[in-house]
Copies of this chain bind each other. A is one copy, B any other.
Amino acid sequence: MADRGKVAAAPSFDASDPLLARAAWSRVAEPGDPVAGALVTHLGAPDALAWLYEAAADASPFVPGALARGQDRPAVERVLRAVERWRGRLAVLDPVREMRALDQLGGALLVPGDPRWPTSVDALGDVAPLALWVRGETDLAGLSRRSVALVGARACTEYGRHVAADLASGLVDRRFTVVSGGAYGIDASAHRGAIVAQGRTVAFLAGGVDRLYPAGNTDLLRAVLDTGSLVSEVPPGSVPSRVRFLQRNRLIAAFSRATVVVEAAWRSGALSTATHASALLRPVGAVPGPVTSMASGGCHQLLRDAKAVCVTDVDEVAELAGHVGADAPPPREGASAPQDGLDELGTRLWDALPLRAYAAVDSVARAAGLGVDETLGGLGHLELVGLATQSGGRWRRAARPSQGVGSTARGG
């Protein structure tokens, strides 16, 4: 075994305090560490932490039975490797200072059991967040109840920006919280659209909530604080890293009722959010775009792979996220034609009727390819609904007021 570096023999804080212990765990383990999740779940955060201090100082520690039944070798080794991962961070652990830093920013540390904890993230199981560091509105339970994640690429187009802002503002009108990642591009447009519409929006950050990262979004993230929340699972002072960005995406997916990818190219990180949502059986939507735009390539792939539903407006997004019925989209209105709603017989006859000059029944029947009896019956029905008119036993189309019967619609 290689040199293990310095290890703190005991914590410098009250590790029996459940809140402090959770805070400590959120610094010791990287986001999404399943071994940490399992330990904390089975032992509780304080006992799991006490065990870790002992294990870190012991050459061959005893692994709790819940994690390695009968000291099963692969399971034991998995936990011991985790201890190796965590060991280096024990020495620098100072959750009291980090909580003080959060307090000074007016934030709150949420842990499971707090009524403000968003239970939607518990669906992540062993990779659920160990704690959530929150600034702004701290009632994440309330914010998640009716929420949609709008995500997408930083390298987006004007089209994507427009659609993201438009969907965000429409979702706000329907009382949804707009969730995103605070990044440039689609994320920023989604937050901004919600703010402009005076709605609530939540940004999940990959680094600590003390860092308004990226720098170019500082003003935007300040505005998010005024109308919603900044949330992170790593303590203040933590830097955003590539792995943390990817893990952050699972939180966005788990927190929200539905996830919509607005614009994303083939390799965009936003697709990982969709994958997480899909794995959690949460509804996933993708906004289509021009096939000539690389920026929509990832969305189209989601549609091709049937990993997302095609969504084109806010009604369809609300339907995806909301309760069926209350949020069902209104029926589409297309350009309507007077003959709409006729059965095949009616359509044939309407089609065969002359526009101006009157025609005899047998001539109409021949043109329609129908029998004389059928034609007479059908013309009677058309007359009844105001689509045909007769004069001396001869027939032509009738023009219903305000509908352009004069021009025949031809199928494409």
A: which residues have CB within 8 A of B?
1-5, 29-30, 33, 81-89, 92, 151-154, 159, 162-163, 181, 183, 185-187, 206, 240-243, 245-246, 248-249, 264-270, 272, 287-292, 296-297, 300-301, 303-304, 306, 309-313, 316, 332, 334-335, 337, 344, 347-348, 351-352, 361-362, 365-367, 369-374, 376, 408-412
Q: Which of A83, A248, A373 has the most CB of B within 10 A?
A: A373
Q: Are B84 and A371 in contact (CB under 8 A)?
A: yes
CA distance A250 to B348 in the complex (A): 17
Q: Are A242 and B408 in contact (CB under 8 A)?
A: yes
Q: Are B291 and A290 in contact (CB under 8 A)?
A: no
Q: Are B266 and A288 in contact (CB under 8 A)?
A: no
**Across the interface, which residues of B come within 8 angstroms of A89, CB to CB?**
366, 369
Q: Are A2 and B183 in contact (CB under 8 A)?
A: no
A412: which of B163, B185, B292, B365 is its contact (CB, 8 Å)? B185
Q: A87-B372, A248-B411 are in contact. List 14 more A-B contacts (CB 8 A).
A: A1-B373, A30-B348, A84-B370, A84-B374, A85-B369, A85-B370, A86-B371, A87-B371, A88-B366, A163-B291, A185-B412, A267-B334, A270-B412, A287-B291
4 nearest interchain CB pairs? A84-B371, A269-B411, A288-B288, A245-B411
CA distance A265 to B409 in the complex (A): 14
Q: Are B370 and A410 in contact (CB under 8 A)?
A: no
**Across the interface, which residues of B come within 8 angstroms of A5, CB to CB?**
362, 372
Q: Which of A81, A85, A289, A374 has the most CB of B within 10 A?
A: A85
Chain B nearest Cβ from A287, distance in angstroms: 6
Q: Are A243 and B288 in contact (CB under 8 A)?
A: no
CA distance A249 to B366 in the complex (A): 23
Total identical chains: 2
**Across the interface, which residues of B come within 8 angstroms of A362, CB to CB?**
3, 5, 88
CA distance A303 to B29 in the complex (A): 42
Chain B's closest residue to A360 (CB) is: B5
CA distance A361 to B410 in the complex (A): 74
A372: which of B3, B311, B351 is its contact (CB, 8 Å)? B3
A310: which of B303, B316, B371 is its contact (CB, 8 Å)? B303
**Across the interface, which residues of B come within 8 angstroms of A301, CB to CB?**
332
**Across the interface, which residues of B come within 8 angstroms of A248, CB to CB?**
411
**Across the interface, which residues of B come within 8 angstroms of A371, CB to CB?**
81-88
CA distance A361 to B290 in the complex (A): 48
**Across the interface, which residues of B come within 8 angstroms of A412, CB to CB?**
151-154, 181, 183, 185-187, 245, 264, 268-270
CA distance A410 to B245 in the complex (A): 7
Q: Are B332 and A266 in contact (CB under 8 A)?
A: yes
**Across the interface, which residues of B come within 8 angstroms of A270, CB to CB?**
412
**Across the interface, which residues of B come within 8 angstroms of A310, CB to CB?**
288, 300, 303-304, 310
CA distance A335 to B266 in the complex (A): 9
Chain B nearest Cβ from A149, distance in angstroms: 12
Chain B nearest Cβ from A404, distance in angstroms: 14
Chain B nearest Cβ from A241, distance in angstroms: 5
**Across the interface, which residues of B come within 8 angstroms of A266, CB to CB?**
332, 334
